[in-house]
Amino acid sequence: MRFFSPNKKLCSPILATLCTAFMCLVASPDIVADEAKFDFFEKKIRPVLVEHCYECHSTDAGEVKAGLHLDHAEGILGGGDSGPAIDLSSPDESLIVKALRYDEDFYQMPPKAKLDDQVAADFQQWILQGAPDPRTVTTSPKTESQPADHNQQLRDSHWAFQLPQVAALDDQPPSNWIRNGLDRFVLAQLRHDRIEPSAAAEDDTLVRRLYLDLIGTPPTYEQIQQFRQSGTESYDALVDQLLNSPKFGERWARLWMDVARYSDTKGYVFTEDRAYADAYKYREWLIQAFNQDVPFDQFLFQQLSADRSDFADDPDELAAMGFLTLGRRFLNNKHDIIDDRIDVVTRGLLGLTVTCARCHDHKYDPIPMADYYSLYGVFDSSREPNDPPSRLRMVDDANPKDAPIFLRGNSSNPGEVVPRRFLLAVAGSERPAFQDGSGRKELAEAIASKDNPLTARVFVNRVFGRLTGTYLVDTPSDFGLRSEPPIHQMALDYLAVEFMNHGWSTKWLIKEIVTSATYRQVSNFSPEMYEMDPENRWMARMNRRRLDFEAMRDSLLWAANLLDDSETGGKSVDLADKRMTFRRSIYAYIDRQNFPSLYRTFDVASPDTHAPKRFDTTVPQQALFLLNSPFAKEICFAIGQRYANDTRSIDQRLEAMLKQIFSRAPTDQESAWLHEFVETAGANDAKAWSRLAQTLLLSNEFLFVD
């Protein structure tokens, strides 16, 4: 614990709690990643420029009007005859925004007709972000497909589009550090870079790490003691025990709910019911799938095409298709709904930003517009029936159809019709057209295939990042040409290959990682190690991680013996409601349109779109919630009242409290400090014990996992 004053007396409870709260907050990345900013540009800004501006303000326009090039970043920043088109210091006064708003004292663009007010607002927001723009002078504004040989060259040259290969390490020197196959590849890369890995963490740390990572709550004091007495084989046995716990599925289903942009509501839909009545059934399916260790290839197939599986008449299995059907409804705009489904499938399962090709060929990856509209045809040939057995399912249309390319993304301007088929970047130029119904079944089979180089890699990377805090590929949903090659590519490929060889077993994959020496390292580091690798990209140590929202809230309830573990599944509950609920946090009601500030404060993934990974922010509201919220007060009061009414001695009660909250006994020095505080504040005063409980719960030791 690190919340006592230098003179060995406990600080004022409020001061101590405040100090602890802010000490536990660590430096973190920017809230908005560059990838998200570029996605905003690609979806909101570039399509407008292509459709309405390039005709007069691009290199291909011949005589560029007003000397203003809008087809590359340098042109839009430099501006034309009237000066820079954007003003980063005053976005509202930017010339391009004023033109789009049709200000009376300025040029009104485009001249034919004023665009919707939202367009000007989007440009203003983009400029407020710093006007991120990936285009260069050489970027072509044309929508025609890139030559096939160019795309093929990109496909053949990028590591992520090659099948994973496991290299031989026969000449690797022996090492007592290695515990399994993963370690062999991690250590080989570390030694290549002349870095030494860290030693293993102590038993108490490892057990707590395992419990929080696998089931989302800490171990009890008794469980740690039992582990210590179990002998050398107890670690693997504990891993198996936690993987077989029904709480494992509740913990790990939340990872996939981030990928699937889960929500209980549709977003803004005007007059119709905003709620998805059966959304919770998709969550229940996920929990059961993780608990039963459904092979990941089947896990994906069910979510894309359960209506074409052996379970087509089972409503519980058809709920798997909530992966597709629980997205935002965009005022029931069909084109945006399909775009969202293409996005969640391609970024979520393949790590490819295919929706960047909605209005133009992808500017980096071998993804032409034709590929986007090939997938568009698949989902346009599917529909959501309202009749039983499941309201979450999709079925194929009786007459599936291919889709035309919408030139510049405009559905009113159809071009060449393209066949429904898989992506060139994955399957190559000889891929056949889909012939079976809409093509969703064939799409699912192509994605969940050993011949696909991306699916296993992408999932392995997500699991590794969830367990360690370091992703082998730091852009989990973008394995394209903009992604940095993984430092530990051999380790990534080893896990991907063995994952598939072990029947696509998620539990095998998790066990391989958590039993490795890589995972079992200490999180401490020297100044020299930090200077060499501050982000721990080489994995020469473990990361110290703040508990995510679900683990934090569940652990607080656990510490007060209030966590309701009596039931698995069921409908969602409102965690932000003043009426306190004791259910696990995975059962939170997620409202897209009114996403609670509590979830935003603690970095819960937004349900608006697929989330590659959660941000890790540091804001005062996090500490203030733990200090002042009714939820935190209820937790602390429950603990404080119990110990105030306890008839044991002060020291016995203090020892019991630390064992309950920290799963360990206090040191002699801690006992002396705590005893002095309780005796001064009142040994039978519930408020005094509540303040002490709050101070302990706000400490680094409770809110972080080492």
Beta carbons of 358 and 339 less than 8 angstroms apart: yes
Residue 509 has pLDDT above 50, yes or no: yes
Higher pLDDT among residues 432 and 230, named by residue: 432
Query: Given this model, what pLDDT does residue 84 score?
Result: 84
Query: Given this model, what pLDDT does residue 193 score?
Result: 86
Query: Given this model, what pLDDT does residue 338 score?
Result: 97
pLDDT tens digits for 587-609? Answer: 999 999 999 999 999 999 999 99
Residue 393 has pLDDT above 90, yes or no: yes
Please give the backbone phi and psi of residue 521, each rounded to the nearest 5 degrees, phi first. Answer: -70, 160
Q: Indicate the burial class of 226 (C-beta count within 10 angstroms; 0-12, 13-18, 19 or more).
A: middle
Helices and strands (DSSP H and E) totals, the chain: 32, 6
pLDDT tens digits for 293-313? Answer: 999 999 999 999 999 999 899
Residue 289 has pLDDT above 60, yes or no: yes
Query: Given this model, what pLDDT does residue 39 score?
Result: 78
**Cα distance between residue 274 and residue 270, in whole Å:** 8
Residue 32 has pLDDT above 80, yes or no: no
Section 85-114 average pLDDT: 85
Q: Give the pLDDT band (50/70/90) at residue 147.
A: low
Query: Given this model, what pLDDT does residue 10 score?
Result: 38
Q: Give the pLDDT band (50/70/90) at residue 171.
A: low
Q: Give the pLDDT band (50/70/90) at residue 576.
A: confident
Residue 15 has pLDDT above 90, yes or no: no
Percent of the chain with pLDDT strictly greater than 70: 92
pLDDT tens digits for 35-61? Answer: 677 778 888 898 889 888 888 888 777
Query: Given this model, what pLDDT does residue 412 score?
Result: 92
Higher pLDDT among residues 265 and 135, named by residue: 265
Q: Where are the domains of the chain?
A: 13-28+547-705, 34-140, 294-447
DSSP letters spanning 292-321? TT--HHHHHHHHHHGGGSTTTT-HHHHGGG
**Cα distance between residue 595 and residue 306, in whole Å:** 30
Section 64-88 average pLDDT: 82
Please give the backbone phi and psi of residue 143, each rounded to the nearest 5 degrees, phi first. Answer: -100, -5
Nearest 5°: the CA angle 174, 178, 181 is: 105
Strand ranges inside 364-459, DSSP E: 382-383, 395-396, 403-406, 414-418
Residue 27 has pLDDT above 70, yes or no: no
Structure tokens at 3: 């919340």
pLDDT tens digits for 480-490? Answer: 998 989 999 99
Higher pLDDT among residues 65 and 498, named by residue: 498
Residue 290 has pLDDT above 80, yes or no: yes
Residue with tokens 């430092």: 487
Q: Give the pLDDT band (50/70/90) at residue 388.
A: confident
CA dihedral 433, 435, 441, 445 (to 10 degrees): -40
Percent of the chain with pLDDT strictly greater than 90: 67
Residue 467 has pLDDT above 80, yes or no: yes
Query: Given this model, what pLDDT does residue 146 score?
Result: 58
3-class secondary-structure state, position 415: strand
Please give the backbone phi and psi of residue 705, each rounded to the nearest 5 degrees, phi first. Answer: -120, 130
**Cα distance between residue 568 and residue 565, in whole Å:** 7
Query: Given this model, what pLDDT does residue 3 score?
Result: 39
Q: Give the pLDDT band (50/70/90) at residue 143.
A: very low
Q: What is the mean pLDDT of the chain?
A: 89
**Cα distance between residue 450 and residue 655, in whole Å:** 54
Q: Give the pLDDT band (50/70/90) at residue 157.
A: confident
Residue 7 has pLDDT above 90, yes or no: no
Section 150-157 average pLDDT: 79
Section 197-222 average pLDDT: 96
Query: Given this model, what pLDDT does residue 8 score?
Result: 36
Query: Given this model, what pLDDT does residue 303 score?
Result: 98
Closest to 367 measured CA to CA, from 170, 375, 194: 375
Q: Give the pLDDT band (50/70/90) at residue 19.
A: very low
Query: Given this model, what pLDDT does residue 275 score?
Result: 96
Q: Give the pLDDT band (50/70/90) at residue 213.
A: very high
